[in-house]
Chain A
Amino acid sequence: MNVVEIKKISVEYNVHEYRYTTFKEFVFQSLRGQAGSKTFAALKNVSLNIQSGESVALIGHNGSGKSTLLKTIAGVVPPTKGEVTSTGRIAPMIELGTGFDPELSGRENIALSCTVMGLSLAEVQEIEEEVVQFSELENFIDLPLKNYSSGMYARLGFACATAIKPDILIVDEVLSVGDSNFSRKCLHRISELREGGTTFILVSHDPSTVRNSCDRGVVLENGVVRFDGAIHDALQTHDEIMDRRYLQSLPETERSEILRVRLLEENKARAQNDNLPKIQCRHWIEAKGKLSSHLISGQAFAVHVEFSVSDCDRLQGSVNVGIGLNTPQGQRVGGINLEQSGKTIPTASLQEGQFQKVVFHFPDGISSLASGAYHLVVGILDSNESRILLPLEPVEISFQSEEDKENFDGDIISFKSLNVRPEMPGLR
């Protein structure tokens, strides 16, 4: 069943060369014969059907008309031409806290906002406690809203908009507010609503949010629908449009230079891909003879890497294997590879499809490293070209240091193990 039907709508705004807003200006401009106006079409002949339970993202550049489309669906902006029909209760989250008044208390604002969105008195009373609980504002709910922090305000607004159990939830770039705990709660609530059959329409510039929460994407450019389909393809179309627009905005010389460099890179990448040998690889960590992802300072462990190469003739030198330790943010803490240790695996010794094993032993373990989570990364490289043949998913490991007491929070290595000599000139 279609919950939203948009038939060939256009939305045109009057753009006055000099827009009059007062009667005085209107009179003077009419006398001068300038009151005529140009029109700007925010949406041109857009047709769209949205089925019940769908989750749709509206994607487009700034000024592409996605917000206008959202507003016509919400019924806020009547289309100049065409027809929009939507069935069911709509919760428009075009801003968080629709209808809030800073002078009123949180509780009064729940009533006001939910009534604005079409709830009856009984329904408001029914959901009030739920809203208070969800927004975690039990202690502040009777304070005036002007005393709230922006996070509290956003929480209350979101709680109101989702508590009304809408048939269609419309969200315009508002999910990025609040702390991470709350935005996770928001996304959870939205997925709950979606499972309950709520149709979800989202405008966002954040590709990961869009990809995670929508199945379908509608790409707009200059008020026209350019693409309508699976979200992955929609994002790709959007990227292409954005790229084209970026290039168009550049001066001619710069544009041709960028295009030339791109073409070179593309050719290089293609050549590499064609020539890369196929590699299979597995890797793990052993400590005390057992598989482990927990390391303790000073305790011996070993990193095992096994790999096989299917097209040995494509290798351009010897094979090199490297390991590294990164912080979860990707900062390299340390690393080593075979070549640095003065060893190589000659291509001749590799047998097609046979697994070759490399073990990095750490007989004394690791010391002078702070406790915490790290990523172990493994790479198979081509020693001649330094090509990374196969970048592997990092292994998450945890490290526990015995020097912890002397370590400051957040240190990666303890300077106590280094040769550091503090000096205090002038002090006897």
Chain B
Amino acid sequence: MENAQAPLNPSTTLEPQPWQQWAHQTKHLRLVSLLVKRELKVKYRGSVLGYIWSLLNPLLYMIVLSAVFSQLVRGIENYSLYVFTGILMWNMTAMSLNLGAVSIVNGGSLLRKVKLPAWIFPVSSTASSATNFFLSLAPYTLLALYFQAPVNANIAYFPLVLLCYMAFVQGLALLVAVANVFFRDVGHVLEPVLAIAFYATPIIYDPRLISLPHLVDMALRLNPFGFYVQGFRATLMGYGEVDIRLLATLLFCAVVSMGAGIWAYQKARLKIIYQL
């Protein structure tokens, strides 16, 4: 049987096709799952409430933010839930990028000793934050029921929106992870950038309900995070509509981000080990 399967052209065995390389890489996914488990276990080990913290954290944020801003921001129905969806999305972004930025550098002790592809580290950071996100969907459901959110058929698009968003965040995480290998201050830069992005994204306000200077308004409208939070709210709590233009934008941003991440990774792949 083995002979029958042997390729006629021997050069194909020497130069594996790209898809073969990718198939070969998927064997590392089991390690990714273990790394995610470790990340979450270590994060909550020693705290009394354990995993419940990951559920309580966005709730507490929501309570604080909605209490503070509900007086300033008016005209949004279900404002608490509006803030909550924003925070859920943002937590995933911030966690993924913060963990992702240092992931390859922290994984250096392993990369210097075992033959492993460096991508598994940013991928497990994003997978960890996605797991965290999934866990917080439980309290979200309870809240949505409590506030009687006008959930409609658009919720069917939620998996698609989520998938696009995960790909989008993954691309960015890959990018910052690779960049941080070569320039160790990326992590420091990331902090203020994320803080600015938090306010530039409609998490606690709705840009359509406030009048802004034209330039600022344009900038906010081009913020990809804004599209995704819009998508999350439209699907999860029936706030706004889901149309083909929105979905196409989400998909486009995801593809661009992933493309940039993979491009940077491929370009740096062989140099990473020398920098760790």
Q: A residues touching B (Cβ–Cβ < 8 Å)?
A: 13-14, 21-24, 26, 71, 74-78, 90, 92, 94-95, 98-99, 101, 103-104, 108, 111-112, 115-118, 120-121
Q: Which residues of B contact A13 (CB under 8 A)?
A: 274
Q: Pick the interface stretch among B58-66, B108-116, B131-139, B158-166.
A: B108-116
Whether the Cβ atoms of B273 and A77 lie closer than 8 Å is yes
Asked if B274 contacts A14 (CB within 8 A), the reply is yes
Shortest CB-to-CB span from A109 to chain B, Å, is: 10
Among candidates B114, B115, B185, B186, residue contacting A99 with C-beta atoms closer than 8 Å:
B114
Q: Assess the B183–A23 pair: CB atoms within 8 A.
A: yes
Contact B273 A76 (CB under 8 A): yes
Give me 25 A-to-B residue pairs in the complex whose CB atoms sit less than 8 angstroms apart, sorted by A's number.
A22-B183, A22-B184, A23-B183, A23-B185, A23-B186, A26-B183, A74-B115, A75-B115, A76-B112, A76-B114, A76-B273, A77-B274, A78-B273, A90-B115, A92-B114, A94-B113, A98-B113, A99-B110, A99-B114, A104-B41, A112-B34, A112-B38, A117-B114, A118-B27, A120-B30
From residue 172 to 212 of chain B, which have CB atoms closer than 8 A to chain A?
183-186, 189
Report chain B residues within 8 Å CB of A104.
38, 41-42
CB distance from B219 to the nearest CB of A (A): 24
**Is B215 close to A, CB under 8 A?**
no
Q: Chain B contacts of A21 at CB under 8 A?
A: 183-184
Bound Cα distance from A71 to B111, whole angstroms: 11
Q: Besides the contacts A77-B273, A92-B115, A115-B34, what 14 more A-B pairs have beta carbons closer than 8 Å? A: A22-B185, A23-B183, A23-B185, A74-B114, A74-B115, A76-B111, A76-B273, A90-B115, A95-B113, A108-B38, A112-B34, A116-B110, A116-B116, A120-B30
Q: State the Cβ distance, B96 to closest chain A Cβ, in Å.
A: 20
Q: Which residues of A contact B30 (CB under 8 A)?
A: 115, 120-121
Q: Tell whether, in the assembled complex, residue B114 and residue A98 are in contact, meaning their CB atoms are under 8 Å apart.
A: yes
B65, chain A: closest CB distance, angstroms = 32
Q: Mark B28-48, 1 if CB is under 8 A from A, else 0.
A: 001100100010011001000
Contact residue among A23, A78, A92 (Cβ-Cβ distance under 8 Å from B113): A92
How far is A23 from B185 in the complex, measured between Cα atoms in Å? Answer: 6
Nearest residue in B to A97 (C-beta to C-beta)? B113
The interface residues of chain B lying within 8 Å CB-to-CB of A76 are 111-115, 273
Q: Which chain B residues border A120 with CB–CB below 8 Å?
A: 30
Mark B residues whose CB is within 8 Å of A: 27, 30-31, 34, 38, 41-42, 45, 110-116, 183-186, 189, 270, 273-274
- Return the chain A residue nearest B120 by Cβ: A116
Residues from chain B with a CB closer than 8 A to the CB of A22 are 183-185
Which residues does chain B contribute within 8 Å of A23, judged by CB atoms? 183, 185-186, 189
Complex Cα gap A115–B38 (Å)? 13
Chain B residues, CB < 8 A from A98: 110, 113-114
| Top 10 A-B pairs, shortest CB-CB distance | A75-B115, A23-B183, A22-B185, A94-B113, A103-B42, A21-B184, A115-B31, A78-B270, A22-B184, A98-B113
How distant is A232 from chain B, measured CB to nearest CB, in Å?
A: 31
Q: Indicate the member of B42, B112, B113, B274 with the most A CB atoms within 10 Å.
A: B113
| Assembly CA distance A74 to B273 (angstroms) | 13
Q: Which residues does chain A contribute within 8 Å of B31, judged by CB atoms?
A: 115-116
- B115: which A residues are within 8 A, CB to CB? 74-76, 90, 92
Looking at B27, B42, B110, which has the most chain A CB atoms within 10 Å of its CB? B110
Give bound CA distance, A158 to B137, whole Å: 42
Q: Is the CB of A103 within 8 A of B45?
A: yes
Q: How far is the CA of A98 from the CA of B274 in the complex (A)?
A: 19
Give every chain A residue within 8 A of B186 (Cβ-Cβ): 23
Please indicate the chain A residues that have their CB under 8 angstroms from the CB of B38 in the complex: 101, 103-104, 108, 112
Residues of chain B within 8 A (CB-CB) of A24 are 185
A23 to B45: give the CA distance in the assembly, Å: 35
- Chain A residues with CB under 8 A of B116: 116
Least Cβ–Cβ distance between B11 and chain A, in angstroms: 15
A92 to B41, CA, bound (A): 27
Chain B neighbourhood of A92, CB < 8 A: 113-115
B42–chain A nearest beta-carbon distance, Å: 5
Task: For residue B267, give the distance in angstroms from its CB to the closest CB of chain A.
Answer: 14
Residues of A within 8 A of B113 (CB): 74, 76, 92, 94-95, 98
A14 to B116, CA, bound (A): 22
B-side contacts of A115, CB under 8 Å: 30-31, 34
Report Cα–Cα, A309/B27, bound state, in Å.
73
Minimal beta-carbon separation of B172 from chain A (angstroms): 17
Least distance between B58 CB and chain A CB atoms (Å)? 24
Smallest CB gap from B272: residue in A: A78
B111 proximity list for chain A (CB < 8 A)? 76
A22 to B184, CA, bound (A): 5
Of B45, B115, B116, chain A has the most CB atoms within 10 Å of the CB of: B115
Chain A residues whose C-beta falls within 8 Å of the C-beta of B273 in the assembled complex: 76-78
Query: Shortest beta-carbon distance, A422 to chain B, in Å?
Result: 59
CA separation between A118 and B28, bound complex, in Å?
A: 8
Report the minimal beta-carbon distance from A330 to chain B, rounded to whole angstroms.
40
What's the Cα separation between A199 and B16 when bound, in Å? 26
Contacts of B45 in A (CB 8 A): 103
CB-CB under 8 A for A116 and B114, given A103-B41, A104-B41? yes
| Bound-complex Cα distance A74 to B112 (A) | 10
| Closest chain A CB from B66 CB (angstroms) | 35
User: Shortest beta-carbon distance, B125 to chain A, in Å?
Assistant: 15
B3 to chain A, nearest CB (A): 18
B residues in contact with A75, CB < 8 Å: 115
A14 contacts across to B, CB distance below 8 A? 274
Chain B: CB-nearest residue to A90:
B115
Shortest beta-carbon distance, A166 to chain B, in Å?
Answer: 12
Q: In whole Å, how far is B227's beta carbon from the nearest beta carbon of chain A?
A: 29
With a CB–CB cut-off of 8 A, which chain A residues contact B112?
71, 76, 94
What's the Cα separation between A111 and B35 when bound, in Å?
11
Taking the closest CB of chain B, its distance from the CB of A188, in whole angstroms, is: 24
Complex Cα distance, B34 from A120, in Å, reads 12
Shortest beta-carbon distance, B220 to chain A, in Å?
27
User: Smallest Cβ distance from B142 to chain A, in angstroms?
Assistant: 31
A124 → chain B, closest Cβ, in Å? 9
**How near does chain B come to A114, taking the closest CB pair, in angstroms?**
10
Residues of A within 8 A of B189 (CB): 23
- Per the bound structure, the CA–CA distance linking A8 and B30 in Å amounts to 35
Bound together, the chains give a CA A254 to CA B120 distance in angstroms of 55
C-alpha spacing A94/B114, complex, angstroms: 8
> A117–B38 Cα gap in the complex (Å)?
17
